[in-house]
Structure 1
């Protein structure tokens, strides 16, 4: 396959991309068409790497309203509702909903997904289902699974044993939720436990960390210290970190040094963080979104996730990372022209770094031929105008093909 005359990642100069055996064989201003059996003349279109959803919950997806709606919009009521819905899970139920959501995500150009799966269930119904899903969707999505103790590790019966069993079953990463543990000491000790567990089984780490509007929450500094001192560093991710938006600036300044030293990754979930955040405030009301701009300025890797798609924590969602990105950069004050132009990194390369899939991510010779083609010339125009995604190509195979939208207007001035 030969992709002709496209703007690669906003580059003004147009290039050709030669694909063979599922990989990028050459990138040049002009490549002879005789080298390819199939030629796509996409003169002037934008090509970027595929989208990455760094944080979603596929076990709970598409369960909004079951058995009841979360009318308060709080994180804690969402957890209570999910604990009831969890009792009705079957493997078929989880698989059907997860695959439906993954197909929707793939239709929007997502090719890498990290999903948390609740393992505070002695039957492991959801985990068993999603382990099967991971294998079944491999041709169109690279799926990672995180063992997530939704109701705590030390605060849930046999929580430690359940986490270790999940590690043995083949998850990709170990999770935690220290701010939901019964007390701050359990929170700290749960972090020590899960880090040791990850090292024992050679897993990545991704913790729901300080997802609470509490300026006194201090689990992030504990996790970053453990990442630094253990040497695991960028194998560790802190998701949400909502409390970081509530702390005073002096503490945030001090913490940024540790975060940079630790090389920890951070994941913000703009749609859900802003929906759940500030629920206990009158006014002024907090946004619930971590300090994305400041983290980036301090060389901390930050990516975005959708988090929830129509479930007890978020009643909406369509599997489209462009929605996440639009809200995220707006709420984070990243609306300078060049910030918008490069913002796809927050749902792209930054996420790939978090998931540790850099070896198969990026538009470079020798890498897998996986990329998206949009009906525009740069990403500023794409995010602003939402032009059609013409192609999603993974390992040289076309996953999605769309035709440019055609519209007629009949507006006349008198």
Structure 2
């Protein structure tokens, strides 16, 4: 396969990319625009970049909004209640149908790497078993990581620890947690220590729903980061949400950031969902309720954006378009400076790959697997401005999707006529 007239991130000239045996075998700068009838694909100056990474989504709950009841308050906690009503209705067929439909939606929008949190506070582990099976069936097309997520707590749910361990035996790749939802602070602290100890014992990654609340007194992030630091697991550990950081005072954050930098843990922010769920108990002024993305990045910490939900009890919208999430996130986090826009795609590409620990196979580099997407626009800024469709998605040298840009009739045609 040969791709010509491609832009690459951070580079000026046009490039030709040659793919052989599923790997990038040649990446060469061009001397101007090429015409080549033998080329497989003409990128026409559009951006070729590594695929989008969705580092935090709940596939097991996707497409269940309103079943059996709607989340009328819009709060995180009512969402958990509505999901508790839906969970007993899960069947393998139900889960498979919704998950595959949602993955197709993500793939159609340039995603090739997915980390999904799957609720394991279910004695039968119905959803987990179904998604483990799906992972094997789609492994040649999509990299799927599964987090054993204890939605109703580890210490606070009957046999929570045993269910987590069973989930890992069934095929989960990542250990989850939710310390701010445990019954007591002591339970939350114990659960974080236990999660890190389990990761040491099993060699699994860790991704915790951490301090997803507007309560400035919720400070389990410092517990998770300290445990990760002491176990020397930082790069393998992720703190998702951390929305309480929006409510921390700056003096405490100054102390906290010293620990976070030492720990080297990763962060996932879900801006569209956080700005919807958080601040619900405020009158005015209302908090955005999004973690300090800008400050974390400036401190050199790895942060990525995620969708979180697609039409589920927590979030009625969602369409798999990470460019939409990126656009919302940089607005909400005051990250619209031109220098920030120039590498904004990092938040839905490279940073997510680092979080998922797949950097060894990720990126447009010689010898690496030929995984890429083509986006409308020649660089990060233009792609964000245009919010266009993904034109091409290639996985291991095989085309997953190809579409033509929409053609718009010029207004001058109407004027001239």
Q: Specify the SS of the correspondent of 2:209.
A: strand
Q: Specify the SS of the correspondent of 2:132.
A: helix
Deviations 1:32-72 (A, max 9, x none): x9x99753232322111100011000000000001111010
Correspondence for 2:16: 16
In structure 2, how many angstroms separate the alpha carbons of the residues matched to 1:275 and 1:413?
46
CA contact (8 A) 1:2 1:36 kept: no
In structure 1, how many angstroms separate the alpha carbons of the residues matched to 2:22 and 2:408?
35
Instruction: State the number of aligned residues.
Output: 412
- Residue range with higher mean Cα deviation, 306-315 or 162-171: 162-171
Correspondence for 1:335: 336
In structure 2, how many angstroms separate the alpha carbons of the residues matched to 1:292 and 1:387?
25
- Residue range with higher mean Cα deviation, 379-388 or 117-126: 379-388
Correspondence for 2:172: 171
Q: Supply the RMSD in Å over aligned alpha carbons.
A: 1.7
The answer to whether 1:6 aligns with 2:9 is no
CA distance 1:199–1:36, shift in 2 (3 Å)? farther
The answer to whether 1:29 aligns with 2:29 is yes
The answer to whether 1:314 aligns with 2:320 is no
In structure 1, how many angstroms separate the alpha carbons of the residues matched to 2:147 and 2:192?
15
Q: Specify the SS of the correspondent of 1:26.
A: strand
CA distance 1:36–1:26, shift in 2 (3 Å)? farther
Correspondence for 2:41: 40
Structure 2 runs not aligned, ≥5 long: none
In structure 2, how many angstroms separate the alpha carbons of the residues matched to 1:160 and 1:42?
51
Deviations 1:47-104 (A, max 9, x none): 1110001100000000000111101011110001101100000011011101100000
Correspondence for 1:100: 101
CA contact (8 A) 2:377 2:386 kept: no
In structure 2, how many angstroms separate the alpha carbons of the residues matched to 1:362 and 1:24?
10
In structure 1, how many angstroms separate the alpha carbons of the residues matched to 2:308 and 2:117?
9
In structure 1, how many angstroms separate the alpha carbons of the residues matched to 2:14 and 2:76?
47
| Pairs within 5 Å for 1:8-407 | 8-30=8-30, 38-407=39-408
Instruction: Give, in angstroms, the shift of residue 328 of structure 1.
Output: 0.6
Task: Return the TM-score normalized by structure 1.
Answer: 0.97
Instruction: Give, in angstroms, the shift of residue 383 of structure 1.
Output: 1.1
In structure 2, how many angstroms separate the alpha carbons of the residues matched to 1:388 and 1:176?
35
Deviations 1:356-405 (A, max 9, x none): 00011001101111111123212211111123322111111111100121
Instruction: Give, in angstroms, the shift of residue 7 of structure 1.
Output: 1.0
CA contact (8 A) 1:5 1:29 kept: no
Instruction: Give, in angstroms, the shift of residue 264 of structure 1.
Output: 0.2
Task: Return the TM-score normalized by structure 2.
Answer: 0.96
